[in-house]
Amino acid sequence: MATSVPGRVLRDRPPPAVRPIPDDKAKVRDGVIRAFSEMYRLQHGDFPAGVSEAEYRRRMELSYPIHPELFDRLFGDWSALDKFQRTRGVLRLMALAISQLWQRGDQSLLIMPGNLPMDSGALVSEMKKYLEEGWDPVIKSDVDGENALPLRIDKENKHFGRLSATRRAARTVYMGSAPRPDGSRGIDMKSIVLGCVQPGEPVGQFADALKRLSGQATHLYVDGAQYWYSLQPNVTRVAADRAASNFTDRDADDEVKRRIAEQPDRGSFTAIQVFAEGPGDVPDDDEGVRLVVLAPEATHSTNDDNSPAVALAEKILAQRDGGPRLNRNLLVFTAAAANRLSELRAATRLNLAWCSVVEDYQGLDLTAHQKKQAESKVKETSQQIDSLIAETFTQVLTPAQEPGTSTIKWQTTKATAVGDIGARVSKKLATEEKLIGTYGGVRVKMDIDRYDLWSDRADISVADLWSTYARYPHMPRLASFRALADAISDGTANLNWSQETFGYADAHDGNGWVGVRTASHVTPNISGLLIHPDFVPAPKGAAGDGDGEGGGEDGGSEEAGGVGGSGSSAKPNAGEGSGHTGATQFYAQFDLDSVRGIKQLGEILEHVTARLGPNVELSLEIRATNNEGFDDATQRIVTENASNLGANGPEFE
């Protein structure tokens, strides 16, 4: 920043007719200066050092209605030009600028570098007199004018256009860099915002607008926080041309596919299939849930039940390479959001173009600075691609099915836009229980009961159970066999296994279960068996079945009888797992808990009497003792209630 003090210049060379500012205008001036000073004080980190001090406030008073930064540029940078007459040149430029601003009804609080009407032919012509040839096309394309890039960016982005942020930033950079013989010195960001930001305006908008401009402008250079315009085109145009002509959307898709495939965090998925185009691209194994990232063209929009993504997902879910797909409950799909795909592809093509510029730097005869700029753009656009991938592939589709029907219903949700795709999608599905990484033994037992999966001998193989979870979309979607194995171990370790879960056996040898274990953790084998708790054989030496067949030393059951709990004298049907036939009668007596009796009775009806056919007699015997004696009220109420409920001769003794 120039060190000359405009206030002093004005005092040394006052205009011939200087009149004091009227009181009403002075109040306006003081309010404006107070607002600027307060902004500089509160946001001192965004502006150059010293502007929040009292001395700078004094300069604003002396320079009003022109901002000191504009005087610094004119008396410092522009006055250094050979053709520029220090005072006369400043007065001519300011007269033209003020005239245009007055005619346009400009409402700016001060006249600043960012407010100069660089689309005015008269002002631009005056400036060109002092500069070398060639600046006219630079101004019209990259600074200001009806066809200039900054105006186009402001129109395309409402948050920029509301403040004319891109144009004001571009004008400020031009005023601070065009007159310098060595433009590479540039103008830093703090000086740029000083030259265009007014009270109440967000500094970040101008910085963002300038960053957007630097990515597209032909003559705007960037080196760290330094910006400047130059007559020599930068490599941005070369990269833009290559992005448009040398690289296709297919090239962009291949790069995005590579990046997704290399993401390390798969979340709860066993595999991620990237850019599947049809059934043959997705294996039909039973290792665990696979995330299928659909080909980019198969986009999805919220509430679109007939989107290209749904159509492709239905084909993949129905078929595999060589026939109908079996493990349909092990697929989850994600697709690109229809409104974000084009932006991702454009950014990827630009990144590929910048990479090619860096590779061809010798053939392009790039300067050291241009090569450095290209390398910086490679890094910048690469980070942009990674962000856009997360923001684009957010549409998640999961198949669901009602038991007993063949119709697939697609449930859609939206994943977050931060992180690797596998982690994002699995986290979202886990919160909705559409992908389960941790399951419990009680829930496994509930699933088996609900869908009547027990075999005739009251067991189910681990292989068949896992196959059921893997194949049918009406079942819960367990992330992997490991999730089921852990749930089985949780179930066998349940101390209340006889009521809530199941037993486990290594095998069945035709005569009985082998290696039965209960009340302890197990490491399930795919060939192992889950046993209904009503039919888990008692361990050797325990009361009940006598021989404890199948229990062995591993039989950990405390009371391996039926669901009746402690004291049950139920004996299994001779045809259930014993190998004997011909029995014609069954009798069991259950001791019901006074608290859990209703639940126990329901289980008895479901798991015992339901298997015995229609010729079943049930009776409930109640014996109660109170050493202190039952009072009259209790005797009367209980007797009446029992009689009303059908009891035969209820009586107290």
pLDDT digits (tens, 9 = 90+) for 462-513: 999 999 999 999 999 999 999 999 999 999 999 999 999 999 999 999 899 9
Domain parsing of the chain, residue ranges: 6-230, 249-431, 441-611
The pLDDT assigned to 577 comes to 41
**Band of pLDDT at residue 200, cut at 50, 70 and 90:** very high
pLDDT digits (tens, 9 = 90+) for 392-402: 999 999 999 99
User: Angle CA(615)–CA(619)–CA(624) in degrees, nearest 5?
Assistant: 170
On the question of pLDDT at 11 being above 70, the answer is no
pLDDT top residue among 570 and 270: 270
**Band of pLDDT at residue 545, cut at 50, 70 and 90:** very low
On the question of pLDDT at 562 being above 80, the answer is no
The pLDDT assigned to 594 comes to 64
Mean pLDDT of 190-203: 94
The pLDDT assigned to 542 comes to 47
The pLDDT assigned to 498 comes to 93
User: 306 by DSSP, 3-state: which?
Assistant: coil
HEC assignment per residue over 461-519: EHHHHHHHHHHCCCCCCECEHHHHHHHHHHHHCCCCHHHHCCEEECEECCCCEECCECC
The pLDDT assigned to 637 comes to 76
The pLDDT assigned to 19 comes to 61
Tokens describing residue 431: 């919160």
On the question of pLDDT at 559 being above 70, the answer is no
**Selection from 453, 580, 564, 558 nearest residue 503 by Cα:** 558
Question: Could you give the dihedral angle defined by the CA atoms of residues 344, 349, 350 and 354, in that order, rounded to the nearest 10 degrees?
Answer: 140
pLDDT digits (tens, 9 = 90+) for 178-190: 887 554 568 999 9
The pLDDT assigned to 609 comes to 75
- What whole-number distance in Å separates Cα of residue 280 and Cα of residue 284? 9
Tokens describing residue 494: 């349940």
Say what percent of the chain tops pLDDT 90. 60
Tokens describing residue 166: 């891109």
On the question of pLDDT at 572 being above 50, the answer is no
The pLDDT assigned to 112 comes to 94
Q: Which helix (H) or strand (E) holds 256?
A: helix 249-261
pLDDT digits (tens, 9 = 90+) for 596-639: 667 677 777 766 776 677 777 787 888 888 887 888 778 777 77
- What whole-number distance in Å separates Cα of residue 442 and Cα of residue 439? 9
- What whole-number distance in Å separates Cα of residue 580 and Cα of residue 574? 6
HEC assignment per residue over 23-75: HHHHHHHHHHHHHHHHHHHHCHHHCCCCCCCHHHHHHHHHHCCECHHHHHHHH
On the question of pLDDT at 345 being above 90, the answer is yes
- What whole-number distance in Å separates Cα of residue 367 and Cα of residue 234? 10
The pLDDT assigned to 550 comes to 38
**Band of pLDDT at residue 540, cut at 50, 70 and 90:** low
pLDDT top residue among 544 and 301: 301
Mean pLDDT of 33-52: 94
On the question of pLDDT at 563 being above 80, the answer is no
The pLDDT assigned to 115 comes to 92
The pLDDT assigned to 26 comes to 84
**Selection from 406, 447, 254, 395 nearest residue 317 by Cα:** 406
- What whole-number distance in Å separates Cα of residue 426 and Cα of residue 479? 9
Length of the chain, in residues:
653
pLDDT top residue among 385 and 9: 385
On the question of pLDDT at 580 being above 60, the answer is no
On the question of pLDDT at 551 being above 50, the answer is no
pLDDT digits (tens, 9 = 90+) for 118-139: 888 888 888 888 888 888 889 9
- What whole-number distance in Å separates Cα of residue 603 and Cα of residue 605? 5
- What whole-number distance in Å separates Cα of residue 378 and Cα of residue 540? 73
The mean pLDDT of the chain is 86
Say what percent of the chain tops pLDDT 70. 87
